[in-house]
Amino acid sequence: MMSEQTGAAVPKSEAVRPPGGKGPAGSSELDELFTEVSTLRRAIIDAETRHAALIDAVRPDHRYSAANLIHYVELRRHDVRELQARLADQGLSSLGRVESHVLVSIDALLLQLARLTGNDAGDRAAAAVPGGAELLSRNALSLLGPQPVDRVTRIMVTFPSEAASDPALVRDMLDSGMDLARINCAHDSREVWEAMLANIRSATESSHRGCVVAMDLGGPKLRTGPILPGPAVRKVRPSRDPLGAVMAPAMLWLGAAPPELGDAADPVIPLQEPEWGAARRVGERIRLVDARGARRTMTVERVAPTGCLVSLRQTAYLVPGTVISGCEESAETGRIAHVGELPSSARKILVKRGDLIVLSGDLSPADPTAGSPHRIGCTLAEVFADVELGERVLFDDGRIGGVITAIAPGELTVEVRSAAVAGSGLGAGKGINFPDTRFSLSAMTEQDVEDLDFVAAHADIVEMSFVRSGKDVRELLQRLEGKEADGLGVVLKIETVAAFDSLPQILLEAMRWDKIGVLIARGDLAVEAGFERLSEVQEEILWLCEAAHVPVIWATEVLDTMARTGTPSRAEVTDAAMAERAECVLLNKGPYIDEAIRMLAGILGRMQDHMLKKRSLLRRLRAWDLARAEHEG
């Protein structure tokens, strides 16, 4: 249990003028400041006393952090903005960077005020206590692994499925600067995960670099149900300039592409007669009448044992059974072939403001042509038991939003309040958020419980999704007991408003475990809290975790455009620079992920000289050299 820090009495100062020249020691302004800070300190100590049981319940090496967290939460219950301004006017600490050492900072301020006013501050000489920055650094090292040589912030990367079959991809990510690998248990299978882990081990052994492995439990998934598919049709079209002239013809394989092309192959149109394409010749004309009755001509560009590559300079709609005619008849195949099976096209429900959406536990495919009220399934109908009238419901990352107007057994009705002016398409498998609802269901699904055995045996970190309360954390820790998982790190994903509101309780519960961290899932948080509040919310999470000396992973869409296209946007480069205040940054997968890793590593390396958490670092700048400018002028 934390106790109030003690020390020697402060001698009375004589004839000391306060900073700013506003009068001698003992002036009324300084006396008032001394009184207000002393009152604030008493409130903080009282909060520590009230919550002594919570502090005693955490691991001994987390108790100072737990007490500091409670101190910070109590401090933020008071509006001290006016006090901060008055302190700054006197040249004193404005308490603007106290997160990691609240009581020590306040005691240091009281000592200054006591010397300036001659008031008795009591025994305030700071006892030997752990440094907040050192505690955070220690905890980050324990959870996230060693700090990189050229930067403070580590880089975590979500593995794509290809990481299981492409060892070179894993080596490239590691060589580019990846420090942690993240495997999402919501995707792939145990066999794929094992292959990913094997590739990580091989890459680390050959490069002599470490890599921490984090595995993410899927958690309960709130998604829209299936929608009746559209017709099986494939639209192919050439590339045109703004005036409609063809710049490049459409290229497609009739039959199948050669295996060596893999994912790089052009679109493939299967044929009912698979050997037909191999019997064509380069330059041959292929004719067809498409689904609209339009006559089209294609040219054979290449012939392979599995099919032929053709070019098309007009748009065509191909459906199963479309007849394709060659100019030459082969003894083995004949002149005519037919398009084979094609996948059905996905359809969406067009939703407009004022429409009604009926969410149902029935997962029968929805009819997108039925009109309002639109009916669509919900993959987690258990949530219907917790909802109330008037609560908000958001679909597809907030693109469609409304409020609950009716609740019935097995379903609820949402009146749409926000959508695009012309309507928004709602597809199958899209996320559903209930930002106002407090759910009673567990954060761990049966699948999560099953996956936890694998994670505890193979990973360095388990990431828990859908955390909403300390109770959810308690369940995870209880399930880890007895699995010989004492060395496993636990990262809690903060992705809901409920989790944000309960973050102090969540952190205190997590402090019963050794290695802990927080992941800010900014995408889901933005949907639930509103995009206009995201900046505020993510800042407050950073501050609270710093007070608890808990390392933070900054996640969602960091350099996302860079990873997907190879070129970053200006906005996301700025966003990546701000991520330096976290202990780790998560990058998502993409074909240019190795380039994104290198860019992020460079950004983080530069920013560490300018910023540490909330503190600006005033390193020497060579950009503004007046002497040089005068010489050049």
Residues 371 and 480 in one domain: no
Which helix (H) or strand (E) segment holds residue 12: the answer is: none
Inside any domain, residue 618:
no
Inside any domain, residue 385:
yes
Given 105, 130, 155, the domain boundary residue is 130
Residues 474 and 572 in one domain: yes
User: Number of H helices and number of E strands within the chain?
Assistant: 18, 29
Judge contact between 41 and 146, C-beta under 8 A. no
Which helix (H) or strand (E) segment holds residue 184: the answer is: strand 180-184
Looking at residue 348, its pLDDT comes to: 95
Looking at residue 484, its pLDDT comes to: 82
Amino acid in the structure at residue 249: P
Coil, strand or helix at 189: coil
Phi, psi dihedral angles at 262 (to 5 degrees)? 55, -135
Looking at residue 9, its pLDDT comes to: 36
Inside any domain, residue 229:
no
Inside any domain, residue 323:
yes
Looking at residue 615, its pLDDT comes to: 55
**pLDDT 10s digits, 260-281:** 887 777 899 999 998 999 999 9
Judge contact between 43 and 162, C-beta under 8 A. no
Residues 447 and 579 in one domain: yes
Looking at residue 96, its pLDDT comes to: 84
Looking at residue 570, its pLDDT comes to: 87
Inside any domain, residue 145:
yes
Residues 33 and 153 in one domain: no
Residues 38 and 77 in one domain: yes
Bridge partners (DSSP) listed for residue 252? 310
Judge contact between 523 and 588, C-beta under 8 A. no
Looking at residue 24, its pLDDT comes to: 45
The pLDDT mean for the chain works out to 88
Given 338, 361, 377, the domain boundary residue is 338
CATH of the domain at 367: 2.40.33.10
Locate 166 and state its tokens.
């492409």
Locate 444 and state its tokens.
């761990």
CATH of the domain at 183: 3.20.20.60
Looking at residue 129, its pLDDT comes to: 61
**Other Cβ atoms within 10 Å of 202 Cβ, number:** 13
Locate 552 and state its tokens.
């933070």
pTM of the model: 0.82
Given 113, 130, 147, the domain boundary residue is 130
Bridge partners (DSSP) listed for residue 379? none
Three-point CA angle 206, 212, 218, nearest 5°? 125
Inside any domain, residue 20:
no
Give 261-324 as a DSSP string.
GGGGSPPEE-BSSTTTGGG--TT-EEEEE-TTS-EEEEEEEEEETTEEEEEESS-EEE-TT-EE
CATH of the domain at 271: 2.40.33
Tell me how far CA of residue 540 lies from CA of 97, 302, 324, 547, in angstroms.
13, 60, 63, 11
Q: How far apart are CA 419 and CA 438, in angstroms?
A: 25
Residues 140 and 125 in one domain: no
Residues 261 and 365 in one domain: no
Residues 416 and 377 in one domain: yes
Give residue 80's domain range. Answer: 28-130
Give 124-168 as a DSSP string.
-SPP----HHHHHHHHHHHHH-SPPSS-SSEEEEEPPGGGGT-HH
Inside any domain, residue 630:
no
Residues 449 and 541 in one domain: yes
Q: 154-158 and 584-587: which strand pairing?
A: parallel
Q: How far apart are CA 211 and CA 205, in angstroms?
A: 10
Q: Is 632 exposed, middle or buried (0-12, 13-18, 19+ CB in 10 A)?
A: exposed
Looking at residue 482, its pLDDT comes to: 79
Residues 213 and 248 in one domain: no
Residues 88 and 180 in one domain: no
Looking at residue 586, its pLDDT comes to: 94
Tell me how far CA of residue 297 lies from CA of 249, 267, 324, 325, 534, in angstroms.
12, 17, 10, 10, 53
Locate 326 and state its tokens.
């060659």
- Give pLDDT < 70 ranges for the chain: 1-26, 123-130, 330-332, 609-633
Residues 448 and 585 in one domain: yes
Inside any domain, residue 632:
no
Judge contact between 549 and 100, C-beta under 8 A. yes
**Overall domain count for the chain:** 4
